Amino acid sequence: MLLCSNGAIYTGWTTDIDRRLRQHKSGRGANYTKMNSPVELIYWETQKTNQLARKRELALKKMTHQMKINITNGEILKKEQIIDFSRYEFFVSSPGRVNLLGEHVDYNGGPVLPVAIDRSVSLCANQTNNLQFKIRTEDLNQEVLFSLESLVDKNDINHQTLPDWALYPAAVIWAAHKKNLPVFGFEATFTSNIPIGSGLSSSAAIEIAFAALMREIGLWQIDDMELALLCQFAENEYVGVKCGIMDQFACANGVENSALFLDTSNLNWHPVNLPKDVALIITDSKIRRTLSTSAYNERRNSCEEALIILKEYIPNIQFLSEVLPEQFTLIEKFLPSTTRKRAKHVIEECYRVRLAVEFLRNGDINGFGRLMQDGHISLRDFYEVSLPELDLLVELANNFEHCFGSRLTGAGFGGCTISLVKEKNTDNFIKFISNEYFKATGIVSDNYVCKARGGVRVEWRKIN
């Protein structure tokens, strides 16, 4: 949005904001800005494709002048965050994710089927003139200040160890510097309505939010997949969690009303439409886990061991995901018991994801739900990442008449379940689950009816 000399707001779209702004200022941009110059950039936001940018441009042009002013003042964002946005140039919204199928296969080259959800990290920031980073979390009422030098040792500028929450933005800054991307200082504050430790990728959402912010400030020429890969590198090498690419990918690349089929062996992906009359209901067991201190890395090591052994019988494979279920049946006896169970889950889960996409395309939501149920049994019995509370929630959901399928979602060891329920029955489902879970455990669960939303987005506005 450009503020013109006559007080009007001109709206346009471009693939190069600096070039286009120079054109408008020189009178070569549009007849309107040529007649009403000078012009001043007061707001921008990023879209994932030219088509989406044009669509957003048309929507903005239909708004009244006051509605446009409200957007540039940040008033439209009040429902998303609790921060005084008027103090900040940048706003970033980075979604959490829920995984419908394909658990623990992304680090085995397998296909996954996540959804970016409408629960998110809201980040506000200003660029500064130094190479220090001041970051505040509103939810914990904590603040850190560190530099490029201090974050190498995971310390703040006073040589105090960074709190756990600060490791994620610090990791992204460290990774960007490591990859020789331009890094500039900033002050930022963020809040989130993604439950921490629930398996909905709150950490990945934070990473992607800060990476998207730094991409805007530093004018990085990288796309959303490269942004996700940078954040995966940050979490693997700085935080110390050997996660796959799925979480960061979904937070960066979400598509409205769609699941995302991603083949992690080659990073090819495409959206898959979700049924319009089916709700995604996430139920939080309230059992928390810390991924970096869980058995996550142990499971990954078991998969690597299985691959080494299976290569003796199928020499050309690079990933466990390439082994067909019928092949595995013939050679699984050569694996140690625990390793065999881990590999069995991965190989059969990959098959379930590919089949699930066909079910969605054909409108077979009942078949899709059965695959979710099978996936949970596999996570419980073969990968052994479930807990009694998660098993109870899944059993209750699957016993509800209008639920198509339910399973734990995320790495396991606590967190949430995901259930597909007929949209008109969501209230009854939540009431049933909440009452029965409380009777059995004494725990009050949280339930979220979610929609699939787009991936990370960034907005900028001029601060007076």
So which residues are the catalytic ones? 247
Helix (H) or strand (E) segment spanning residue 434:
helix 426-441
The Cα 369–Cα 356 span in angstroms is 9
The Cα 262–Cα 245 span in angstroms is 10
Closest CA to 348 of 314, 313, 383, 318: 383
Task: Determine how many CB atoms are found less than 10 A away from the CB of residue 137.
Answer: 20
The Cα 447–Cα 23 span in angstroms is 50
The crossing angle, in degrees rounded to 10, of helices 388-399 and 365-381 is 160
Tell me the β-bridge partners of 2: 10, 41
β-pairing, 186-192 vs 132-137, is: parallel
The crossing angle, in degrees rounded to 10, of helices 202-218 and 246-253 is 60
307 and 315 Cβ atoms separated by less than 8 Å: no
The radius of gyration computed from the CA coordinates of the chain, to the nearest angstrom, equals: 24
Closest CA to 60 of 50, 49, 70: 70
β-pairing, 111-127 vs 90-101, is: antiparallel
